[in-house]
Amino acid sequence: MTEPTYPRFHLAFPVTDLEAARTFYAGILGCPTGRESDCWIDFDFFGHQLVAHLVAPEDHPSSATNRVDGHAVPASHFGVIMEWNQYQRAVEMMKANDIEFAIEPHVRFAGRKGEQVTLFVKDPSNNYLEFKAFRNMEMLFARDLESD
């Protein structure tokens, strides 16, 4: 893997079952594991460091939502922005592994500068993950999303 020329992010997040997290992140999503203990596991999440920390189920936070394009988008979520074809392969992998979509794959801003595809899934601890891709990655931070 080529080293990125930008800083990588680190995110620690709660899980209620470490082995279920390992199965989901490493086994299904293909994220290699790094260091670990009996209460946390490091994952290489597309070049970024995720650390799953074991918490009691009653200590896992609930997730509020916001309405976005008619969907109840979890206010607390993390994810990855992929290349368009990589996203399509990820969708097929999720379907093949019977991963339930919290928000089905769909297109936002169709035919406009910021056209993107997105989906949401939950991990075994009910943490929400978003996977998305932009038709044109240069539009990642664009403010004007009107068509040309």
Rounded CA Rg of the chain: 16
Q: Looking at the structure, do residues 53 and 84 belong to the same domain, yes or no?
A: no
Q: Looking at the structure, do residues 91 and 76 belong to the same domain, yes or no?
A: yes
Helix (H) or strand (E) run with residue 86 in it: helix 84-96
Q: Looking at the structure, do residues 71 and 143 belong to the same domain, yes or no?
A: yes
Cβ neighbours around 148 below 10 Å, total: 5
Q: Looking at the structure, do residues 132 and 74 belong to the same domain, yes or no?
A: yes
**Picking from 99-103, 109-113, 119-123, which range would have the lowest pLDDT averaged per residue?**
109-113
Q: Is 77 left (phi over 0), alpha (psi -120 to 50) or beta?
A: beta
Residue 113 buriedness (CB in 10 A; 0-12 / 13-18 / 19+): middle
Report how far residue 54's alpha carbon sits from residue 126's, in angstroms, rounded to the nearest whole number.
13
Q: Looking at the structure, do residues 42 and 81 belong to the same domain, yes or no?
A: no
Instruction: Quick: pLDDT tens for 30-64.
Output: 999 999 999 999 999 999 999 999 999 999 988 88
